[in-house]
Each structure stands twice: as structure tokens, then as C-alpha cells.
Structure 1
Amino acid sequence: MPVPQSPSRGRYDAVIVGGGHNGLVAAAYLARAGQSVLVLERLGATGGAAVSTRPFAGVDARLSRYSYLVSLLPDKIVRDLDLAFAVRKRNVSSYTPAVRGGCPTGLLVAGQSTRESFAALTGGEREYAAWQRFYGMTRRVAERVFPTLTEPLPGRDALRERIDDADAWRRLFEEPLGVAVEESFTDDLVRGVVLTDALIGTFADAHDPSLLQNRCFLYHVIGGGTGDWDVPVGGMGALTDALAAAARAAGAEIRVRHEATRIAADGGGCEVTVRTPDAEHVVGARRVLVNASPQALAALLGQTPPAPAEGAQLKVNMVLTRLPRLRDRSVDPRQAFAGTFHIAEGYEQLADAYRDASAGRLPAVPPSEIYCHSLTDPSILGPGLAARGYQTLTLFGLHTPARLFAADNDAARAALLKATLAELDAHLEEPVADCLARDENGAPCVEARTPLDLERDLRLPGGHIFHRDLSFPYAQEGAGRWGVETEHEGVLLCGAGAVRGGGVSGVPGHNAAMAALGR
């Protein structure tokens, strides 16, 4: 267990508040530029939400406990920082079980099999052709937008000109996404599969006039210029371990169990009050980079925090002794669970779940999606478990806003988990509970986290995994050159709440470092 140490000096070029992945990215860039850097982390280890842990006693499975896939992390950051980190492609994009004509079937999106699966499900070529056109459009947008994330923030008109596709701009940036989905597709299941990328971690309707769903969708389809979601080799903690190693190798000091409690900023620099388990002291800095929420930033500056946004997801981790058998015998479970396994995510089912939650009820048919990390990357399992055929499952539930758990978090969590697993069981030949491994105490290896749990464990306001509602990746009033600036010249926001923040990307950390360096 790391022992807290005092900073080695009284004043630094940069103090970074928060040792999550964005803070570590910023620390590594600044230290490599020759600056003196201090990272303050209130917990006993770095990583924030991008960590790997063994949550089940006596079970040697290292799970990405909160965040779990990589799409938005630019290769540029990996190369610039010489990170010992790699990802693997999933050979299956998604599988969505269905019942047609009373028979179990499904939609498999996996390379050459995709066209045949569309034809079998929808009875023709139309939906597959529409799928190709729609995701051809998003791919072209991704190729143009993704490189801008690590450049100075473009204006709205400049980004539109860069995309150079009026139809794509209308569909993704101006009209509710539901319009594009309904224009493009006729099959309810296909519509739902498309819409899910607009709802992960975001509580919105397909036709929400705020376009919150569009913003979420955009960040889910532009990653890497392809929209691919990849598996981090060794789990998500492998990334933050590599970042911490890179920062230390460049000369940054990282202090755990050091909590910043106050920032005083003026034209001459900043002072950060730091609390450790047995003392309190003040550290000076030319600049402070805050890898925390906008609410935490305001509190550190002694300002009134903005109202928090509301998280809307259920995160479930499981370890299984084997993958369950499917009712759809045409698909091998190892294929179905290798990509994103959509559950109760038809277009109308998503709308019904949104209406339930908006009315203050847990969704009667809760939508969710699952994938199996260990099929692509068995290294997260101990050799004994891997040899015996154990697997992991990660489930992410949608349309479960924090308000639904306010009265009794424990009871609501248990009820939602039961209902969610029942929807999965509807497509299995055996209950998933029969496949769960047991920990050393005999308890099933399944854990669930609600938005309120994330707020408690990670200080995510409202349990919002993006810190606040996502913004379009272009400049709006007051955004600053990089989208990380604040009203205080010496204070920068380098967490997920920055413009172009959200997800495991390192982009806010990179951009805050560039702003600090004046690049």
C-alpha cells in the first residue's frame, strides 16, 4: 500500500488535482516538457474511474470496474507519451437477440456475416443497405472530426466546413437523432441498435430538442476516426498504470492520500491547500489543472457549484464459470458475447423505458448491453480460471437516472438488477445465475453500481459518468482556445467536464497541458 509523502518542494510549475487518467496525461506531457509537476490524489491509488480491481474475494479476475472499453483515446497520446499500452479489436461489433414468428433469432453485426444476418432478420436487403449508408456517413464524419479533438477548439462554422457534408451536419448536429434513425431504418430492432449509442450514460429521448442524444451519439461513433470500441489489454487499469509510470519517468511527483481542499488564484499564481491523513499544508504553483468535475472545481475556488447533471446508468460486473447457452442456436455464445450483446433495446422498448423513468418508475423492461472482456483479452483472468473456462461479463444498463434511487438506493438497485437479468434470461436456455462463479465466501460473483454508488465512490456529481452533459466539439461562448480554460488565468479544467471531455480519452488532459504550455 503506497505511503503518503510530502511534496518535495513548496512551489511547482503545475499542480494537478486528481490522479485519474486525464490528470496523468496532463502530468506526463508537462513533465516531459521540463516543468515541475505535482499530482494530488485523495484516494490510495491513481486511476479514478479507469481502474482494474479484483472485486470478488478469492477470485483471480481483474475487472475494469467502472469504465471498460477504449474508443476516444487518440493514438497520438499513446505515441507522444511512449505508453506501454495496447488495445485489441473485437471481431464482433454486436449481437441483438430477437423473436420473429415465434422463433428465437437475432441480428449479428460481424464482418461478412452482417449482410446475411440482416437478410434473415428483416427478410430483404433494404435495412442492410440503409445500415451501410448510415454508418458510411458516420465514418466520414469521424475521419474529419476525431483529429480536431487534440487541436485548438474549432468554431461551429469551421467544423461544419471541415465535415463538408450538409446532410450529415443536419442529421447529427441540427435535428434530433430520432429523425435520422426513422428516416433511415424501418425495422424496430435495427432502429434500437442504432439509437443505443445516443443513450449510454445519457438520459434522453430520441427526439429530445436539446440534442443531448446527438452529442452522446457523436462521441460514440467518432473514436479513432472509425467509431470502433476496443478492449484494453490487461484491463482499463493497464492504461492508468502506464500513464502513471510515464508521468513518474518524466519527473512528475504523484502523491496519493493528498486531497486538495482549496485553490486560491490571482494574477501572480495559485496556492493549493492540501490535506493528508495527518497534516494540512499549502503548495504554490504557476498553474493548477483540475481533473475533477465542474462542481468540484467551483467548490475548490469557493464558488457556488453549478447544479449537477444526472447520471443514468447501471453498471454490473460478473464472473462466470462458463458462458450461458442461447435460445438462438444459430449463434455461438462466444460470438454473441464477444461484441455488444443488446438486451431489450428495440426502438419502442427504449422509448417505453424512457417514459417509465421520466415518470419516476424503474423501467418495466430495463434495456442494457453486455460484453465479455475475457473473450478478447484472457489476460485479465488468472491462469487457473482461464484454464477452467471462466469468463467475465460487463453489463451497462440504460435509462436509470439517479432520481430513481434517491428514496432507497439498495432496494432500487436490487430490484433493477433482478429485472435486468430477467430480460437477459429471456434469451438464454439457462438462467445466467446458474453460470455465476462463487467467491471464497460462497457468494455469487455479481456486483451492481447505480449513479448514487458512483457519486459516493468516485465523487461523480449525480453519478454522471461524463461529469456533466456532453457538448458538441466546437467552440461556444466562453469556451476558450482549448475548451479547458476557466475565469482564472492560472486554473484549467482537465477532467471529463471540459469541452470535448467524457469517456476514457485523455483528450482534456492533453488539451489542458497544451493550454498550460501555450501551444
Structure 2
Amino acid sequence: MPAHSASSRAISRSRSRSVSGSGDVVIVGGGHNALVAAAYLARAGRAVTVLERLDATGGAAVSTRPFPGVDARLSRYSYLVSLMPKKILGDLGLAVDIRPRTISSYTPTVRAGRSTGLLVGGGTERTRASFARLTGGEGTYEAWTRFHAMTRRVAERVFPTLTEPLPTRAELRARVDDEAAWRMLFEEPIGVAVERYFDDDLVRGVVLTDALIGTFADAHDPALAQNRCFLYHVIGNGTGDWDVPVGGMGALTDALAATARAAGARLLTGCEATRIETDGRTAEVAYRTGEGETTVLGARHVLVGASPQELARLLGESGPAPAEGAQLKVNMLLKRLPRLKDPDVDPRDAFAGTFHVGEGYGELAAAYAEAAAGRLPSAPPGEIYCHSLTDPTILAPELAESGHHTLTLFGLHTPARLFTTDNEGTRADLLAATLAGLDAHLAEPIADCLAEDADGRPCIEAKTPLDLERELRLPGGNIFHRALAFPYAQEGTGRWGVETAHPNVLLCGAGAVRGGGVSGIPGHNAAMAVLGR
């Protein structure tokens, strides 16, 4: 029986009810990928309606003022931009400023009883000197340079394919044109390459973190989930650089929404899709407003920015099992940056890039083993970003002038399963352990640096995978909607990686092949799939 036959019978029945208008495209969800799709399609002359459940568009790529009475607009769920192609920004005429960070990363540690650390960035000589100070020689720096030259070459060749029809595995391999790099990134666990290139535990850990952002895996996982995560974290725009959206992540999605509206797209907020019915040629989407009214829209195509699990629910079908998320997200506002125990690094440099905590190679392995055994990591690994050092515009002028700063922390190896019994209590325990790990490298406790809100409470909030599932409907709290896939065609992926079993229903969110991160790529590819028909 064809996959859409049951829905075909249902759509015939539904036509006896009133349908409020019809158009070319209905898009379910108003996240950044959906807005990219809406802008492309509306600019191409299609009639587009976007249905967003929440009161504002942007999805997880939003800026909010989370602390009462404090005029600090934080990127609440997603923080940095790497994968957004300049092609999309140019095609849509988006006047957004995405600014590079002056420092790539800083990783504090203790060597021979002395607080020190590895600073990457601020110029070649400064980075070289930091490696020499940490390891006592030139060899590790030279290995670092060789390794990242290899990933840079791969990035330059792979990234342009993300906005093209999916290549086959053989085609992408030929595009990479480097058998050693292909083996390291696509065929054997990334831990093999990390251990082959580097012998310093701290440096190994810094490299491995790119493979573990939101991904619960070991460095040697034979399923290569860590490799897929690593690839997407090092190929952005052919450089792998992670940059700061000026004005916060919400400035980017607000610009996308404005572009889509200007092109003629209707963006309806507070409207929750409740059902999709299709016969493969035409479709209907039912949605409910906050007042409880239900409306049905007709369309030739339906694009879904929600997860594959949510799409299955809307179609009345069985969906894939969720791949659990594995991260802690912490947002803070500080009245000042904390002093460091490392006497050689200024806090403004240390926090200007990615500040790694508990992310040595051995520490990451230990944290994974504890979490896999059902326990919170005793030394939770995480990394911290200070948006306001690169972009002070997210703070009210008086806050910026008085030395306030934002910190956002992304914790690793905290799978959703750890929170199912007691989300609130486990969150509190994990936050305390995470901050204690940071304090170990500070000359003053981070709690002493926290600003206070209008009610006198510290300006800090934490989100577990279950919190993200509840607030954003991310299945299992997975920030990628489901396990990431290598960016080449596999059985059932379709020409663009956005196709489903229903010819006129497409994914346009992170759950599409080549989804994940703030990229707009699934939205672009879904729009191209529609326009190519």
C-alpha cells in the first residue's frame, strides 16, 4: 500500500469541513531554518504561511532577557554561528553582522603544581608560545598546525556541498581527495586520529570537544556519532571558525523574519499545528490558536521545521525513537569577569574565546564512563562563551560601562536519562558540580561575580535536556533533533536530504540530513526541493 494512502482517505473526509484559504506552502514551525525556507520561497513568488506555536519566531535561536529587571539580552539556547553559509546571507540580502572572536580558546590546567593553561589565538607567535609553555617544546604546536591544516582542507571541499544536492559517498570522497583525511574523519573513530597526532592529554581533550557538543559518545565509539559531530564543528564556511552574532542570536532570526515578511510570507505566532493530511499532491494542515480555535489550511507543499518525531505525530504515523540530548546549558550575567589562578593570562583574553573546563582527554573519558553507568559526572566537562566581550550591544549601556558581562556554559556528557527521576534536583546537583569545576581555576568563586536581578537573586539559570524538551519540544532534549548524519546520500535520503515518504511533505529543520546548528541549510535545501519540482 502506498505510504500516503491512509492520509489520502483522511484528506477526502476533511474536505467536508471548511478550509480557511489555501496556498503554495505551509511551514510548520518558525525557527531559523523555517524562516530561511519561507524567505526563499516567498521571494520566488510562492504563497507561504508559517505556523509557530510560541508567541515569537526564532525557535531555539532567540535572544531573551531571562533575569527580571535586568536589561541584558542573552542568546538563550544557541550561542555561536559557524555553519550559516555566506551564500544564504547574500541570497536573502541579510544585513547581519557576524563577528569573529579575537581568541579561539583557553584551557586552564595545573602543571607541576602551578596554575597555567593553553591559549589558542591572538596571533601565531602567541599561540606557539602558549604551546611551548604548556608542553615544553615545539612538537605539539607543529602537530596542532598539521592537524588543523588537514581539517581546513576538508572543510574547504565539503562545506560548499551542503547547499547542493546530496552527493553520493563516492562523490564526496572524490571531492575530499585525501585518503588519509577521509579515513580519519569518515571511517575510523576520531579518537584514533587524536591519539596519533597528539601525546598531551590536555591538547587531545581540546581537539576532541568538537566531537562531543550535544553528542553522547566515546572517542572510540565504532558507530562514529562523534565523527559526524566533529565534522560539522570544523567545516563551517570552509574555516571552522565559530563567530558571534552581533545583537545576539535573536538579531539574526529577527532579520530572517523581517526578510520573509517583506517578501510576502505570512508569519502566524501562537498557532500550533495539530494535524497534517496529504495525498502526496495536495495537503491540509490544521492548527489551533491560543483561544482554542481550529483552522485548516490547504497547501501544495508542507515543510516541517519540527523534529521527525513531531512530523510523524502530526501525520498520525509511528516515528523514529528519539536520540537523547546530552548537554547542560547555563546562562549567567556577571558584574565583573572573575580573576584567574593562571597569572599569565588576562581574564578578558581567557573568556574571549571558548573557555574549556574539565575537558582533558582523560577527564572526558571518565565523565562519559560515569554517565554511561547512570551517574552524574563527578567532574562535569563544559565550555564557556562570553558573548559580551565581542559584542557589548547585548547589554544596556550602563551595564556595559560598569563591567558587566554575560557567560554561557555548554556542559557535555549529561544525557537525558540522568534527569528522568528528578529533573530539578539533578539539575541543581549538576550545576553545583559544574561551577565547582570552574571555581578550581579561578582566584575567586564565580558566585561572588554574579549580578543580581530586581528581586535580589543571582543572575544564573540552567537548562537540562528535559527542560529543552519541555520548552522547545526537542525530542529527548536533542539539539540536533536526531543523530547527525554524514553529508552524503544514503538509502532513503532523497536528492536534498529533506524528503519524506510523502512527496509534498518535506523536513526543513535540524532533523534533515545536513541539519543541526544555526545554519539555515535545511531551510535552503527544502526551498530548493520545492522550487525544483
TM range (shorter): over 0.9
Report the CA distance shift for 1:9/1:84 in structure 2 as closer, same or farther (over 3 A).
farther
Q: Work out the CA distance in 1 between the residues paired with 2:421 and 2:287.
A: 35
What is the distance in 2 between the residues matched to 1:341 and 1:267?
A: 49
Distance in 2 (CA, whole Å) between partners of 1:381 and 1:160 is 46
Alignment partner of 1:340 out of 347, 354, 363: 354
Map of 1:50 onto structure 2: 61
Three-state SS of the structure 1 residue aligned to 2:414 is coil
Equivalent in 27, 30, 37 of residue 19 of structure 1:
30
Instruction: Render the CA deviation track for 1:164-202: whole Å, top value 9, x for unaligned.
Output: 000000000000000000000000000000000000000
- The one-letter code of the counterpart of 1:154 is P
CA distance in 2: counterparts of 1:407 and 1:258, whole angstroms? 32
Equivalent in the alignment of 1:127: 140
Q: Residue type of the partner of 2:73?
A: R
The match for 1:398 among 412, 435, 438 is 412
- In the alignment, what sits opposite 1:496? 510
Question: Is 1:35 paired with 2:49?
Answer: no
Report the count of equivalent residues.
513
Asked whether 1:384 is paired with 2:398, we answer: yes
Measure, in 2, the Cα distance between the counterparts of 1:163 and 1:20. Answer: 32
Shift of residue 86, structure 1, vs aligned partner: 1.3
Find the counterpart in structure 1 of residue 214 from structure 2: 201
- 1:463-485 CA-partner distances (Å, limit 9, x unpaired): 00000010000000010000000
**Counterpart of 2:26 in structure 1: which amino acid?**
V
Q: Which runs of 5+ in 1 are unaligned?
A: 1-6
For 2:525, the aligned partner's letter is N
- Output the CA distance in 2 between the equivalents of 1:8 and 1:379: 45
Give 1:9 shift: 6.0
Contact 2:19–2:296 (8 Å) recurs in 1: no
Matches of 2:117 and 2:270 in 1, distance apart? Answer: 49
Letter matched to residue 148 of structure 1: T
Look up the equivalent residue of 1:151 and give its one-letter code: E
- Superposed counterparts of 1:195-344, under 5 Å: 195-278=208-291, 279-344=293-358
Matched residues in 1 for 2:192 and 2:95: separation? 43
RMSD across aligned positions (CA): 1.0
* Deviation sequence 1:206-231 (CA, Å, 0-9, x none): 00000000000000000010000000
Aligned-partner SS, 1:397: strand
Residue 114 (structure 1) aligns with: 127
1:88 to 87, 93, 99: 99
Match of 2:81 among 70, 82, 86: 70
> Match for residue 4 of structure 1?
none
- 2:463 alignment partner in structure 1: 449
Determine helix, strand or coil for the equivalent of 1:398. Answer: strand
Contact 2:21–2:298 at 8 Å: present in 1 too? yes
Q: Structure 2 residue aligned with 1:141, among 137, 154, 157? A: 154
Q: Percent identity?
A: 75
Summarize deviations over 1:455-513 as a string: whole Å, max 9, x none. 00000000000000100000000100000001101100001000000000000000000
Q: How far apart are residue 84 of structure 1 and its match?
A: 2.2
Please, which runs of 5 or more residues in structure 2 have no aligned partner?
1-17
* Residue among 369, 388, 410 paired with 2:424: 410
CA distance in 2, matches of 1:51, 1:179: 37
Q: Deviations over 1:254-297 (max 9, x none)?
A: 00111111110113300111111231121100000000000001
Displacement of 1:305: 1.8
Distance 1:8 1:254 in 2: 18
**1:313 partner SS:** strand
1:306 Cα deviation from its structure 2 partner: 1.3
Alignment-derived partner of residue 3 in structure 1:
none
Structure 1 residue aligned with 2:444: 430
| Letter of the 2:414 counterpart | T
Say whether the 8 Å CA contact 2:302–2:506 is kept in structure 1: yes
Q: Which stretches of structure 1, 4 residues or more, deviate above 4 A after TM superposition?
A: none
Could you tell me which amino acid in structure 2 is paired with residue 367 of structure 1? P
Write the distance in 2 (CA, Å) between the matches of 1:260 and 1:316.
Answer: 30
**Counterpart residue type for residue 392 of structure 2:** P
* TM-score (normalizing by structure 1): 0.98
User: Within 1, Cα distance between the matches of 2:270 and 2:346?
Assistant: 47
State the distance in 1 between where 2:226 and 2:521 align: 21
CA–CA distance in 2 between the matches of 1:88 and 1:82? 17
Match of 1:105 among 91, 116, 129: 116
TM-score, normalising length: structure 2: 0.95
| SS, match of residue 465 in structure 1 | coil
2:169 aligns with 156
Name the aligned partner's letter for residue 428 of structure 1.
L
AA of the residue aligned to 1:274: Y
Q: Is the 8 Å Cα contact of residues 19 and 297 (structure 2) preserved in structure 1?
A: no
Q: Given the alignment, which residue of 501, 508, 512 partners 2:522? A: 508
Spell out, residue by residue over 1:19-62, the C-alpha distance to the aligned partner (whole angstroms, 9 max, x if none). Answer: 00000000000000000000000110000000000000011100
Q: Give 1:8 deviation, angstroms.
A: 12
SS at structure 1 position matched to 2:408: strand
Structure 1: distance between partners of 2:158 and 2:221: 23
Aligned partners of 1:276 and 1:26: how far apart in 2?
A: 23
- The answer for the alignment partner of 1:169 in structure 2 is 182
Is 2:450 the counterpart of 1:420?
no
